[in-house]
Amino acid sequence: MLIIPRPLLKQIHKHMEETYPHECCGLIIGTTGDKKAVELFRPCRNLNNERAADRYELDPKDMLLTQREFEEGPWDIIGIYHSHPDHPSKPSQFDTDRAWPGYSYIIGSVNNGSVEKLQSWELNESERKFYEEPLDIQEEE
Amino acid sequence: MSINVKIPSPLRGLTGGQAEVPVEAETVDEALKQVSVEFSGFGEKVLDEGGQVRRFINIYVNEDNIKDRDDLGTAIQAGDTISILPSIAGGA
C-alpha cells in the first residue's frame, strides 16, 4: 500500500500532462516501514531525447541532488514516477528489466494529453516481476 | 584516508541498513573493494565479472560522475564522498 495525498497526485498528473507526448519522470520521497507514504516529489529530467515518446532515463545528477537533499532525513527516496504517453499504466518489459527492488514505481497512462489511469507497482526481485501496489489516496481536508 | 561511501536504499539490504559506509582508500576502486569485503554480496551488485561498474549503476565522487574522470581509478581525497546511484530508466 502506498499512501499519497490527493494534492501531490494532482501535481504529478500535471507534470505528466505538461510533458506529453513525451515521457516524464521524477522521484517520490517519503517514509517506509510500517507506513509507506509519499510526502513530496521532485520532477527530474528525462535524458532520453531520441526516444522521449516511449523511453525515459532519469538524470543521475537529479538523483544525486535529491539523495543529498534528504540524507539527513526525515524522509528518503521511496520510488519513481513516469508517464506512458498513449500506453497503459502497466510496466513494460523494459521497465521490468531496468527496475530496482524496494522502490515504488508509479506509472501514469496519458492519452491525448490527459492522465487516464495511474497505478503503482513494486518489483519482486526473485521473480523479476512487477506486482501492483494499491494506492491509498488521502483526500484534502 | 577516510572517506564515506553513500549507499542508495535498494542496496542497503546488503549493508545491514547502513546508508553510509566509512572506508580508508586512495581510489574509488579501493573504496568499493573495501565495502565489498565488509558486506557480502555488495561487490557482485555493483561490479561485473570483469571488475567494472555495472551498466545500471552510476558512481559519483562529490559532484562528478567517475565516467568523466578516471572511472574506478579516480583518486579520492580526505573528505570526499562517493555516491553509488541506481540508474533509473524505463519506458512504455
Q: So what's the ipTM on this one?
A: 0.90
**Mean pLDDT on B44-57:** 94
Which of B65, B86, B92 lies nearest to residue A100, judging by beta carbons? Answer: B86
Strands, sheet with A114-124, edge to edge from the N-terminal-most edge strand: A129-133, A114-124, A104-111, A76-85, A25-31, A37-44, A2-5, A135-138
CATH number of this structure's domain B2-86: 3.10.20.30
The three cell numbers of residue B65 are 560522475
The yes-or-no verdict on residue B39 having pLDDT over 90 is: yes
Nearest Cα neighbor of A22 from A84, A80, A79 is A84
Contact check, Cβ <8 Å, A102/B13 = yes
pLDDT category, A32, cuts 50, 70, 90?
confident
**Mean pLDDT on A69-93:** 95
**Mean pLDDT on A48-52:** 92
**Mean pLDDT on B49-73:** 95
**Mean pLDDT on A33-52:** 94
Which chain B residues contact residue A87 at CB under 8 A? 92
Distance CA A24, CA B21 (A): 33
**Mean pLDDT on A64-90:** 95
**Mean pLDDT on A6-10:** 97
Q: How does the average pLDDT of chain A come out, rounded?
A: 95
Q: Which residue has the higher pLDDT, A90 or A34?
A: A90
Distance CA A55, CA A84 (A): 9
Q: Is the CB of B58 inside 8 Å of chain A's CB atoms?
A: yes
Contact check, Cβ <8 Å, B63/A78 = no
Quote the pLDDT of residue B35: 97
Distance CA A48, CA A55 (A): 6
CA atoms within 13 A on the CB side of A77: 31
Quote the pLDDT of residue A141: 61
Nearest Cα neighbor of B48 from B72, B31, B69 is B72
Residue found by looking up cell 481536508 in the block: A141
Q: How does the average pLDDT of chain B come out, rounded?
A: 95
Contact check, Cβ <8 Å, A100/B60 = no
Which chain B residues contact residue A48 at CB under 8 A? 89, 91
Q: Is the CB of B6 inside 8 Å of chain A's CB atoms?
A: yes
pLDDT category, B1, cuts 50, 70, 90?
confident
Q: Parse chain B into domains and list their residue ranges.
A: 2-86
Distance CA A18, CA A74 (A): 30
The yes-or-no verdict on residue A57 having pLDDT over 80 is: yes
**Residue A137 distance to chain B (closest CA, Å):** 24
